[in-house]
Structure 1
C-alpha cells in the first residue's frame, strides 16, 4: 500500500476546505455588500421620495457603521460563545429583516433607524468570517483565501450595479411597490432564506467536518487549530485579544482604508452620474467597469503579496495608487469624462487590492479567540470610517456644490494610511507590528 505523505494530506485537506467553505462564505459576503451598498444606486429616488439632501444621504449611509461599531465586539463574542453555525444564522436572518424593511420606510427618520439596525445586525460578520478562516486554514494560506474572499467587495458592486440599475429603471410599480422599494425588498430576502439553512451547511471545527478523513482532520487540528496550544477557546482568550495594542494600531490604519472604501462606494454612482449625465441604468453599467477591473486584480495581487511576504508594502502601495486615482479623477472631472472615469478605475483597483494584504497582517498576530477579538477591534474601529467618509463627503458636496473636495478628503486618508503601511508595517515580518 502506498504511504500517504504529509504533503499529500495537506494538499487534499486545503483543496476540500477551499471547495466547501470559501464559495459559501463568498456568497454570504456578496449578500452583505449588496445590502449595505444598494442604497448608493437609490440615492436619486430617496432624494425625491424622502426629501434627502446630500448630507442627509451621507448620514443615512454612514449611520450603518455606527450600529456596526457599537455591536461588533459583542457580536464577535457571540461567535465564540455560540459557535459560527448558530451565530452566522442569527446575523443573516436579522440583517435580512432590516434590509427588507428599508423598502417600507416613509421618512428620513425611519431610513436612519433601519440603516442603524442593519449595522447592528450585521455587526461582527466580517471579522467572524476571518476568524472562521483562521480556524480552518493554516497561516500560510490565509492571504490567498482572504484574496478570494475580498474579491466579493468589488464583485458585488460589479454584479449588483446593473441589477440595481435594472430594478430602478422599471417604469411602473409592482404590487404597489415603487422600483426603489423593490430594490431593497428583493435584495433583502435572500439572507433570511440562507440564514435558515446555514446551521446545516457549516461546522464549527475541522474535527466536525464529514468530508475530511481522519488524517486530514488531524493535520488541520495541528496546523490550523483553534489556538496555538490546541486548547479550548475561552472568553478569557477573547479578552486578551481586545487588550493587545498591536490590534489597536492596525485598527487606526484600517480607519483610513475604510474611509476610502465606503466613501468611494457610496458616492461613485453619483459621481459617474455627474460625469456622464446618464440615467440610472447607464450609470450602473458604467459603475461596473471600475468594480469589474478591481475584481479581476484582487486575487493575483494577493498571491503576489503572499509569495513575497511584503504585506505592508503591497497594502500601502495599493492605497497610494488609490489616492492617485481619486486625485486624477478630481483633476479631470470637468474637462474629460473618459479620463476621469479611467482614474476612478485606478482608484477602485487600488482600494480593493489593498484589503487582503492589509487584513492578513493583523490576522497573523494570534489565533483562536484572541484572533477573533483582535480582528473585531480592527474592524470595529476601522468601520467608524464607514460613517465618517460618506457623511463628510455629503457635507462637503452640500457646502461646495462639487464632488472634488470630498474626493480629495478620501485621497488624503488613503495616502496617509498607505505611506504608514509602506514605511512602518513593511519593516516587520509579514507586516506584524512588534510590541
Structure 2
C-alpha cells in the first residue's frame, strides 16, 4: 500500500470511528444548552419571568462556563480526554434535569450557572482531542464533522422541543418534560464514552500496525514543525497575543450568535402569530432553517480546507450573517416569508464561520499549549453568550421591539469579522516566515 492509500484508509477509519460518536455527544450537549429558548415559550408565562429575567438566566450559563473552562482543560490534559468528557456529560445531565424544578428567578439563575460549570471545557476538549488524530490539512473538515451538531441539535431539537411542550404527564408541564427527557441521553452517552474513546493514537486497537505507525509519524512531524514556530507551555499560550485577539474576536461573534439563537423561538413565535402556523409547524420551520445551516457548515469547511484559507472565510460568513440579521428584523412587517429567509441566511453565516475559525489555533500551537489556547478562546468568547441574550432581553423590554437588538447584534458580528481578518493576516505572515526558518534550521 503506497503512502497516499495509507493516508486515505487511515483518515477514513479515524473519521468513521470518532466523528459520528462525537457528533452525537455534541448534539446532546447543544440540545441541553439551547432548549431553554423553547422552554421559555411556556416557562416564562408559568413562572412570571420577563424577557430580561430570561435573558439573564439564559446567559449566566456562560459565566459558569467561563470560570471553569481553562481549569477544566488543564485537568483534561492531565487525566486524559476520555475520562473528562465522560465526567462532563454525566454531570451536566443531572443538573439539566434539575432545571425542570426551578420556581423562582434565583433558582433559575443558579441552575443555569451550575449547568455552565458542569459543561465547561467540553468543547475545547473535543477540538483538542480531534487535533491529535488528524493532519493539520484535515482539521477544518474534522472539526466541522462534529460541529454540524450545533445546527444539527437545533434542527432536531426545534420540532422535538415544540412537540414536548404539548405534553402534560404526571402533573408536570411540557417545559419540565422537555428538560428531563432531553437530558437522559447525556447520561447514557457519558457512560459509553468512558469505554469507547482512546486518549491517544498509541492506545487504539481499531487501526492496523501500518496505519497506526503512519498516523503517529505524521502527527509527530507536524507537532515538531509547529514547535519551531511557537513552543509554548500551557500557561504561556494563555498570554500569547494572537490567542488573546482571537478570544476578543470570538467574544464579539458569540454576542451576536447567542443573542439571536436564544431568542429565535420567541422571535419566530412573534412572526408566526401573524400567520396561521401552529407552534408545532413553527418547530419544523426552525428545523429546516438549521438544516440549511448544517449544509453551509460543510460547504464552507470543505472550501476552507481546499483553499487552505481561514480568515476570509470567517469574515465573509459573519458579515453576511450580520447584514441578514438586521434586514430580517426590518422587513418583518412587510413580508413574513422574506423575514424567515433572511433569518435563515443569518443562521447560515453564523454557523458557517465555525470550522475555519477553530482550524486556526491548532495551526500554530500544539500539545498542552493548544489545549490551553482553545480553552481560553472558548471561555472568553462564550462570555458573549452571557451579554448577548441579556442585552437582547433588556432592549426588547425597553423598546417593545427586536429591531434595535438586531442592529446591536449585527454590529457585534461585523466587529468580530474585522478582528479575525486583522489577526490572522498578521499571524499568518509571521507563521509562514517562522516555519520556513525553522525548517531550514532543522535541515
Q: Name the TM-score, length of structure 1 as normaliser.
A: 0.94
What corresponds to 2:316 in structure 1?
317
Moved more, 255-264 or 423-432: 423-432
What corresponds to 1:180 in structure 2?
175
Deviation, 1:424, is: 5.0
The alignment of Structure 1 onto Structure 2 pairs a total of residues equal to: 426
Moved more, 405-414 or 288-297: 288-297
Aligned pair partner of 1:268 in 264, 270, 286: 264
Matches of 1:269 and 1:161, distance apart in 2: 9
Aligned pair partner of 2:240 in 214, 237, 244: 244
CA 1:433–1:320: 2 relative to 1, 3 Å = farther
CA 1:36–1:426: 2 relative to 1, 3 Å = same
Matches of 1:148 and 1:313, distance apart in 2: 21
3-state SS in 2 of match to 1:21: helix
3-state SS in 1 of match to 2:44: helix
Matches of 1:114 and 1:358, distance apart in 2: 31
Q: Within the alignment, does 1:189 sit opposite 2:188 as a pair?
A: no
CA 1:226–1:391: 2 relative to 1, 3 Å = farther
What corresponds to 2:194 in structure 1?
199
What corresponds to 1:416 in structure 2?
415
What corresponds to 1:344 in structure 2?
343
Q: Within the alignment, does 1:13 sit opposite 2:2 as a pair?
A: no
Deviation, 1:431, is: 10
Matches of 2:410 and 2:393, distance apart in 1: 15
Superposed counterparts of 1:105-144, under 5 Å:
105-144=102-141
Contact 2:318 2:413 in 1 (8 A): yes
Unaligned runs of 5+ in 1: 231-235
Deviation, 1:115, is: 0.6
Large movers: runs of 4+ above 6 Å: 430-435
What corresponds to 2:150 in structure 1?
153
Matches of 2:366 and 2:44, distance apart in 1: 46
3-state SS in 2 of match to 1:335: coil
Matches of 1:140 and 1:82, distance apart in 2: 28
What corresponds to 1:233 in structure 2?
none
Matches of 1:400 and 1:273, distance apart in 2: 18
Q: Within the alignment, does 1:215 sit opposite 2:214 as a pair?
A: no
Superposed counterparts of 1:240-389, under 5 Å:
240-277=236-273, 278-389=277-388
Deviation, 1:356, is: 0.7
Deviation, 1:227, is: 8.1
3-state SS in 1 of match to 2:185: helix
Matches of 1:303 and 1:294, distance apart in 2: 14
Deviation, 1:225, is: 3.9
Matches of 1:432 and 1:197, distance apart in 2: 40
Deviation, 1:429, is: 3.4
Summarize deviations over 1:2-48 as a string: whole Å, max 9, x none. xx322222211111100000111101110010000001011121112
Matches of 1:225 and 1:396, distance apart in 2: 51
What corresponds to 1:56 in structure 2?
53
Matches of 2:430 and 2:25, distance apart in 1: 28
3-state SS in 2 of match to 1:228: helix
Contact 2:249 2:415 in 1 (8 A): no
Moved more, 62-71 or 216-225: 216-225
Unaligned runs of 5+ in 2: 226-231, 435-443
Q: Name the TM-score, length of structure 2 as normaliser.
A: 0.92
Moved more, 38-47 or 425-434: 425-434
Deviation, 1:310, is: 2.0
Deviation, 1:114, is: 0.9
Deviation, 1:264, is: 1.4
3-state SS in 2 of match to 1:224: helix
Aligned pair partner of 1:96 in 93, 97, 106: 93
Moved more, 48-57 or 415-424: 415-424
CA 1:433–1:293: 2 relative to 1, 3 Å = farther
CA 1:379–1:164: 2 relative to 1, 3 Å = same
Summarize deviations over 1:197-219 as a string: whole Å, max 9, x none. 21110000011100111222222
